[in-house]
Amino acid sequence: MIASTQPSNRSSVASSDLARRVLRALLALTERGGEISVRTVMALVPASPAAVCAMLLALDAEGYVDGDCFRLTMKGFAAAHAPRAIAFERRTEDRKGSMRKAIRVA
């Protein structure tokens, strides 16, 4: 891993857009059930096959994916869910107080 001047809790691999797409694809395939393979992941991720394979290897090396069975580890599961949780929090924060604003106007 490349050293950074600023401390970071997230690795450079997991913070990339392609990594998030691969993690979300693995999560979707896991939730759907059925076979998970490099080919099924490549079908869901809009990137070159070489890039997807390289990202799967990098995520395996970082501990996000179990490369033997193409399954998310707990670390990968948490990372795959994190963007959803952040987006949900943002949506609910936007709604807080919206009824109060409507009542004040009326």
Report residue 54: phi and psi, to 5°. -65, -40
3 is a domain residue? no
At 73 the three-state DSSP class reads coil
99 is a domain residue? yes
What pLDDT, on a 0 to 100 scale, did the predictor assign at position 93? 53
pLDDT at 26 over 50: yes
Number of domains in the chain: 1
CB burial readout 6-19, b (16+ within 10 A) else e: eeeeebebbeeebb
At 65 the three-state DSSP class reads strand
Note down the domain range covering 66.
17-105
What pLDDT, on a 0 to 100 scale, did the predictor assign at position 16? 83
68 is a domain residue? yes
37 is a domain residue? yes
- CATH number of the domain where residue 27 is located: 1.10.10.10
What pLDDT, on a 0 to 100 scale, did the predictor assign at position 97? 57
- Mean residue pLDDT of the chain comes to 76
Whether pTM exceeds 0.85: no
User: Residue 65 pairs with which residues in a beta bridge?
Assistant: 72
pLDDT in tens, 40-80: 999 999 999 999 999 999 999 999 999 888 899 999 999 98
